[in-house]
Amino acid sequence: MASRSQVVLVTGASSGIGKAVASAFQSKGFTVFGTSRKPAQAAAIPGVEFVELDVTVPNSVSTAVATVIERAGGIDILINNAGVVLLGAAEESSVTQALQLFDTNFFGLVRLTNEVLPHLRAQGGGRIINIGSAMGFLPAPYTAFYGASKYAIEGYSESLDHETREFDIRVSVVEPGYTRTSIDAQMMEPDSPIATYAVRRQNAHQVFVKAMETADEPAIVAKVVIKAATSRKPKIRYPAGRAASALSRLKRFGPGAALDLGIRRANKLPPTASRSTTPTPLHGTPEVGKPSPPPRSLAVPPT
């Protein structure tokens, strides 16, 4: 029987990091399947076959994995990339909204991993690469729940890697910094906005927009993903891009006080918790009791 080429499954492959990763693997001779919630609307990637997947729906996950295995004969490398971003103070999001974000960013990843792992064990090995973020090892003011979901991916991946090594299955996290994608266009807003935070929230958005002007191209992240997936001695963490690499070293070896101050300055926050530095609300009173607008769709945005 002729041996097949290695099969890669990439979630969120319709654009951004996922698209770059799928294209990079295809160019290296891998058989690549990409996923999208609406594959018929996804721009074609030469040599990449799309399957429908919503990581928040268990039946969709099982169907997508079964489809890839039926068409390709197996899965060797899983790239968990799907995710959403929520910008706002932590207090401004209900628990319901936070759970919805985690359902995509973390539990969606867990669902897909659990579906693929039995096949990897049965075939004697494989790789799982989870797309994390520099916000998974640094504080993320005004993106607290996004950062928390990425911290969760870090802890989950490190523990899972220890559990699966005896089956020749290795798990790694790729940690991009700011990456030039269209994610800003579909960024979620808090479902319970509070006027007290409005100025800082707007500042945080401006910081994000400014950072995207000099952000890394998705191809830089894709190169690191391939390195993690094909290394003979894989590491658990792979910072992707110059900024993420520098921040990772600073987190590990830099003075805590200097890092704390740098984070506050970068996010346009006052250096100390002084009442005199509290921004004036845009409205006279907090928006407590005001009917909250419906949250934006939690559809997986381009990454």
CA atoms within 13 A on the CB side of 138: 30
The DSSP H or E segment spanning 80 is: strand 77-80
* Among candidate residues 302, 300, 296, 244, the one with its CA nearest the CA of residue 109: 300
Q: Which of 146, 151, 178, 238 is catalytic?
A: 146
Are 163 and 242 a contacting pair, CB within 8 Å? no
Q: Is 53 helix (H, G, I), strand (E, B) or coil?
A: coil
Q: Give yes or no: 178 in active site.
A: no
Query: Is residue 46 packed enough to be buried (19+ CB in 10 Å), middle (13-18) or exposed (0-12)?
Result: exposed
- Taking CA 69 as the corner, what is the angle to CA 64 and CA 75, rounded to the nearest 5 degrees? 100
Contact 200, 238 (CB under 8 A): no
Which residues are the active-site residues? 146
